[in-house]
Chains A and B, each alone.
Chain A
């Protein structure tokens, strides 16, 4: 089955700096890659996603890049703010008979210091 590795497990940045979180996946059949933000006591919140026919996608301060050949994708957060502090998860999905099943990475705890 699919396996998703996520690095780093913790990331501490100064407010205003950029943060980058990287994920690799094992199955080339995966074609949908969402990123979730989870705050304490809440469920994961979808913040951005990318499909395998796209190399990069941006939404304000957040961007995701995908390298299908290398089977890795990354989340970039620019101009970080204290409210960006949370646990971030990457995930991969194959669709088709696998439906919406998501395989998650282990998570990255991002701490933004004011």
Chain B
């Protein structure tokens, strides 16, 4: 079974621009969560989607948004990029959302904001 895939793997953007990252979950998984990983803050939860609905949201500004499509693929968008948004963005998929199920991570998208 193929794992979680994320595209693109690397991205360089300029302050003020916006960016869209994509995640395809493991086949059959309907929950997709997004995390931000930085050396200073570690791994932090951004949001979780299940059946095209946002189920939970972490403590991030409104510039961070996401969506999920009917095939469970998910995208996250960051608008008006800031230097502090430079991070590894990780997507994780799970079979369900309501119980704390096993989550499997993709390789991440490395975003650099200059």
Contact = CB atoms under 8 A, between A and B. Distances in A.
- Whether chain B is bound by chain A comes out as yes
With most chain B CB atoms within 10 A of its CB, the pick from A31, A93, A99, A101 is A99
Interface of B: 4, 31, 33, 35, 42-45, 48, 50, 55-56, 58, 90, 92, 94, 97-108
Given A99-B97, A100-B97, A43 B90 contact: yes
Interface stretch (A16-24, A44-52, A57-65): A44-52
Given A44-B90, A98-B56, A101-B33, A106 B42 contact: yes
Given A32-B100, A99-B48, A104-B42, A45 B33 contact: no
Contact of A103 (B45, B55, B107): B45
B107 A43 contact: yes
A100 B43 contact: no
Contact of A107 (B42, B98, B100, B105): B42
Given A100-B97, A102-B45, A104-B43, A49 B90 contact: no
B1 to A, nearest CB: 14
Contacts, number: 71
Given A44-B90, A106-B42, A107-B42, A100 B106 contact: no
B28 to A, nearest CB: 15
A106 B42 CA distance: 6
A34 B31 contact: no
B45 A44 contact: no
A54 to B, nearest CB: 13
B36 to A, nearest CB: 11
Contact of A99 (B31, B44, B108): B31
Given A99-B55, A102-B35, 10 more contacts: A43-B107, A93-B100, A94-B100, A98-B100, A99-B97, A100-B33, A100-B48, A100-B92, A100-B101, A102-B43
With most chain A CB atoms within 10 A of its CB, the pick from B42, B43, B100, B104 is B100
